[in-house]
Structures are given as structure tokens and as C-alpha cells.
Amino acid sequence: MVYKIFNKIRFFSLLFILSICLSETYWVRYGWQAFNSAGDARILSLGGETVTDYGTSISPLFNPAVSNKVGIHNINYTHQSRLAGMINSDLIGFPINNFSRPLNVIIIYEGIDHIPDTRNILLDFGLDGIPGSGDSGEGNGILDEGERLDNDKVKYFSQRQLGFHVSTSWQKDNFEFGLALKTLIHSLGEYSGTGIGLDIGIITSPWKNGRIGVTVRDMTTSWQVWDNGTVERFKPTIITGVAQSITLTKAKLSFTGMANIVWDAGGKTMNDDFRIGDRGGRIITGLNTIYNNQLALRLGRNGLGSVTAGVGLSWGNMSLDYAFLNEPSGSGLGTSHLISISVNSDWVKAYIEKL
């Protein structure tokens, strides 16, 4: 039975590889944005990409090595509204503890509606404004003098992205290693595509209250295969980070500062803080202040160079977090708001059993 299953997996894997080899392949930078912009309010209020942060079931999205470090509030739901409400996304994360090795599952959904399609609205009739006359400017694809746009020809379409992220981790000496498999189902108007990728991570505590972490996203170059035969490939991103915690017992205060460096093999961008050759890098920082293990105030700087902030409340079997993400200055894109709620799965189970 196992042999037959193995043969089927090998057969379909071979078909997948052959279909990719026979398709037109492009190296692209964007396409997995549903994963790159995802996160809960706790992490994104600290700037995001925090490879040294752990405690929620969303943390493995940034470093799979922390899949075994989920706290008691282990079921997390986050709603995110970005770009003044144009983009809305939902995320849920939860651990699975029924196996010898911990598993953590994250499900991501992102949707954009009412996107205008303006490809066919130009009345490209030339300078005389009469179709079929063959005069100067007719059919050149440029809005010339005397031509106009037909607003009645504007059509609208939607974009949907559904992502699954499954991670696990294991310990060796003073190191935690992690591995994550992710897949993305993407629909854009009448087109659809499916992608697959692999992330790895490591985290360690080489000194008291200090942590160092490394994550390699899309380690084997992630793929996105579209139904028209086009294959998009994405180069790896390396994120390194360090964090240090300080506790003032008498004041019931704790401070955790963190800094991360994101190195993108895909090339340079306008948001880079530094460049090495043809590659760009960004610096991300965050400060998490907690009072009496119940009230948290957070500040950060994300990969766009924008200020992030948030507040968190924790009590009993539940915690509630809010994050405010400021868009780049002068972009006109508005602000982003996140709300996350996390609960204890044992508490939820006990409540359901009482019903």
C-alpha cells in the first residue's frame, strides 16, 4: 500500500516538474505578498520580520524554529485592513500537538474587489476621430489629441489569495531548528495559479535574556504556476535578528528590544536602507514594553521605513492586540489597522464540552 502511494507521489511530482520545464519561466519579485504582508497585531506593531519573537501561533510565519514556543493563547485570529480599506485579509493560526513533533498551521486569506480594468477603454481612432480611416495616430495605443476614453468600457475584476503555512521544529543542543512548507492559491480575474515554497529557520539564546535568529524564506526559490503555462519564480530572502530583554521586577516592567536585517536576493528597491552590490537590505527595529504581564505598549520601524505602534491586553485565557501601521510619507495610501484575538484552546474545549 505504501509502495503504491509512493509511486503515485513520484508520478505526479514528475508531471509537475515536466510541466514547469516546458513552461515559460520568469524571475519576479512580487506574488507572495499575502505571506509577506501577513502577521498578527503583536508582531507587525514591532515592525514585522521579527525572527527572534515568539509566543503566538503566528510567530512561526516569521521563523519556523519557534513552532514549539507557542504560549497558552495558542489560537490566534487576525483581521487586517490596509491601504485605507482597499485590501482586507484574515489570518488564523493554531498548533497541532497530536504528533511526536510539534506542528503549527497558519491559514491566510486576502481579497481585493472592484479593481478597474482599463485595457480596452481607449477609442484609438486617430486625429480625425473616425474609426477605420487609417489617419495619423490610429491604432498606436497612445491617447492622442482628438481621442478619448470610453468610461462605459471599464470593467472590474477581483483578486483572491489563499495561503497555507505548515511548520515544525526540533531542538539540538542550544539551537532550535525549524522548517515550513507553504502553498498559495492565487486568482486574478479570469486567471489562476498555484504556488509552493519552503522556509527554514534557527533560533538560539547564547546569553542570558538574549536571542539570535535567522530565517531563509523561499530557500529553494518559490514557484507560482499559472493556468496559462507561465511559471513565476521568487528568489530567497534572508532575515537575521537579535533581541535582548530586561526585567524590572519591583516595577513589574519588562522591556524587549529587537533589531532585524532583511537581505533580499531579488535585487534593490526604493525602500532599501543599505546596498551591497546589486542587492538591497532593510533594517527593522522594535520595542515591546510589558507591565504586570497584562498591558503591552509596542513601537517599531518596518521594512518600508514607516513607524508602527500597538497596544496589547492579556488576561486569563484571552489576549487582545491592536496595531497601527503608518504608510510611507507622501504615498497617499492611508494607514493600516490590525486587530488580533488569541485564546487558550483548552479553555475553548472546556467551554464547548459544557454546552
Buried b (16+ CB within 10 A) or exposed e, 47-60: bbbbbbbbbbbbbb
Q: Under DSSP, is residue 111 helix (H, G, I), strand (E, B) or coil?
A: strand
Indicate the pTM of the whole model. Answer: 0.82
Give residue 21's pLDDT. Answer: 52
Give residue 229's pLDDT. Answer: 79
Output DSSP code: residue 99: S
> Out of 109-118, 158-167, 334-343, which region has the weakest mean confidence (pLDDT)?
109-118
pLDDT band at 18 (very low <50, low <70, confident <90, very high): very low
The one-letter amino acid at 314 = S
Give the DSSP per-residue string, 136-166: TTTTSSS--TT-EE-GGG-EEEEEEEEEEEE
C-alpha cell at 82: 490596509
Q: Where are the chain's structural domains?
A: 2-113+166-354
| Greater pLDDT, 313 or 137 | 313
Q: Under DSSP, is residue 190 helix (H, G, I), strand (E, B) or coil?
A: coil
C-alpha cell at 315: 488576561
Q: Which residues, in sequence order, are bridge partners of residue 41?
A: none
| Greater pLDDT, 137 or 238 | 238
pLDDT in tens, 203-241: 999 999 999 999 999 888 777 888 887 888 888 889 999
Give residue 13's pLDDT. Answer: 47
pLDDT in tens, 239-280: 999 999 999 999 999 999 999 999 877 667 777 778 777 777
Q: Which of 115, 116, 118, 114 is nearest to 149 (CA)?
A: 118
> Out of 90-99, 123-132, 170-179, 278-287, which region has the weakest mean confidence (pLDDT)?
123-132
pLDDT, mean of residues 162-172: 94
CATH, domain range 2-113+166-354: 2.40.160
What does the mean pLDDT of the chain come to?
83
pLDDT, mean of residues 33-50: 88
Give residue 9's pLDDT. Answer: 42
Distance CA 302, CA 319 (A): 23
